[in-house]
Amino acid sequence: MKKSVFFGALAATTVLAGSAFAGTLDDVKARGELICGVNVGLTGFGAPDATGAYVGFDVDLCKAVAAAVLGDAAKVKYVPTTGETRFTALASGEVDVLIRNSTWTFSRDTDLKFDFVAVNYYDGQGFMVKKDLGVSSAKELDGATVCIQTGTTTELNLADFFKSNNITYTPVNVADDSEALRQYDAGACDAYTTDASGLAASRASLASPADHIILPEIISKEPLGPVVRHGDNNWGDIVRWTYYALLTAEEKGVTKANIDQVASSTTDPEIKRLLGLEGDMGAMMGLDKDWSRRAIAVSGNYGEIFEAHIGTSTPIGLARGLNALWTQGGLQYAPPIR
């Protein structure tokens, strides 16, 4: 069913035709554009640069999905979402997929009626403190003042952690990452807590990073991943397998640079299936043969994307850690493409 609402003149240009929830893929194809909900305030993961072009770890997954579905990585409309508006934007169909450091939790999966299709970044909540505070463990933070971003799962984790260790703290609620960092830098709080990836990025941007340490305790599990609406399984499959295609590509050594060369020379049946040279995997979810090849060609495999935006060669300098491939001791494990 399609309806459109006309509100006089404005309607002529700004109303989007409605979409049926059951067929996100058809809507995306009909629209010729993927609408991707992103976070614009998280360094390395997603933000527009000086020319207004979006760049980042999460953004590259949006591009890969767009390339797989529409054949053009540029056909993405990025919708900035805040902690408060992100899930409503997805539920109401304003965005097709939310790729925005959202933690996979039980209630979000069930009560809020979403599907977390994969985990593209395994994160955990940590603490950053100034070195001269002389603290080496989060359990020594009794009585500390802690800066915390509101509207996220971090505030619940923090309350739980201090409660279970029977120590007290004073929360300083701040609106966003940059504000929290400024507060922390000015000494308004002893510790800053957020996802470890965010801490690393924040630490890198401080005037003297060496004066600050990230405490060893990771007090929560924060599996971050792309979210789609509950009930549209085919669309969920597309996002999930686009991601796994990027992961499999890394596992098999297929990169942005060598993809054409590998495609012409490979004898590995799994690579052949991955690149659509054998069988017709795409058709099973309503795409063409080359979907995964296009997805990988946009910005390379998972490892390349990681290194380009948040890896050790960038100022953020995150190590792969849990996000290394399973073959290298990490948790990133793609089910077989067959």
Restricting to residues 105-124, name those near other proteins by CB under 8 A.
Answer: 107-108, 111-113
Q: Is 89 an interacting residue with respect to other proteins (CB under 8 A)?
A: yes
d(CA 256, CA 195): 29
- In the complex, the smallest distance separating the C-beta of residue 245 from other proteins, rounded to whole angstroms, is 27
In the list 118, 228, 287, 316, the residue contacting other proteins (rule: CB under 8 A) is 316
Structure tokens at 325: 């491939």
Q: Is 50 an interacting residue with respect to other proteins (CB under 8 A)?
A: yes
Which is nearer to other proteins, 182 or 338 (by Cβ)? 182
Q: Is 286 an interacting residue with respect to other proteins (CB under 8 A)?
A: no
Which is nearer to other proteins, 21 or 272 (by Cβ)? 21
| 249, containing H or E segment | helix 233-251
Residue 108 · residue 102 · CB < 8 Å: yes
Q: Is 193 an interacting residue with respect to other proteins (CB under 8 A)?
A: no
Under rule CB under 8 A, which residues in 55-84 are in contact with other proteins? 77-84
What one-letter code names the amino acid at 5? V
Which is nearer to other proteins, 208 or 264 (by Cβ)? 208
| R_g of the chain, CA atoms, integer Å | 21
Q: Is 34 an interacting residue with respect to other proteins (CB under 8 A)?
A: no
Q: Is 6 an interacting residue with respect to other proteins (CB under 8 A)?
A: yes
What one-letter code names the amino acid at 32? G
In the list 24, 87, 121, 295, the residue contacting other proteins (rule: CB under 8 A) is 87
Residue with tokens 């739980």: 160
Residue 40 · residue 46 · CB < 8 Å: yes
d(CA 172, CA 312): 31
Under rule CB under 8 A, which residues in 212-241 are in contact with other proteins? none
Q: Is 15 an interacting residue with respect to other proteins (CB under 8 A)?
A: yes
Residues in CB range of 319: below 8 A, 6 or more apart:
312
d(CA 140, CA 159): 15
The 10 Å CB-count burial string (b at 16+, else e) for 266-302 is: beeeebebbbbbeeebbeebbbeebbbbbbbbbbbbb
Residues in CB range of 2: below 8 A, 6 or more apart:
17, 18, 20
Which is nearer to other proteins, 52 or 336 (by Cβ)? 52
- In the complex, the smallest distance separating the C-beta of residue 204 from other proteins, rounded to whole angstroms, is 7
- In the complex, the smallest distance separating the C-beta of residue 285 from other proteins, rounded to whole angstroms, is 23
Neighbouring CB atoms inside 10 A of 60's CB total 26
Q: Is 201 an interacting residue with respect to other proteins (CB under 8 A)?
A: yes
Give the binding range for other proteins (CB under 8 A) out of 11-19, 247-255, 258-266, 291-299. Answer: 11-19
Q: Is 8 an interacting residue with respect to other proteins (CB under 8 A)?
A: yes
> Measuring CA to CA, how many Å separate 156 from each of 20, 92, 193, 216, 219?
35, 26, 12, 20, 11
Which is nearer to other proteins, 112 or 337 (by Cβ)? 112
Q: Is 32 an interacting residue with respect to other proteins (CB under 8 A)?
A: no
Under rule CB under 8 A, which residues in 152-191 are in contact with other proteins? 152, 155-156, 158-160, 163, 170-178, 181-183, 185-190
Which is nearer to other proteins, 233 or 314 (by Cβ)? 314
Query: Count residues contacting other proteins (CB under 8 A)?
Result: 91
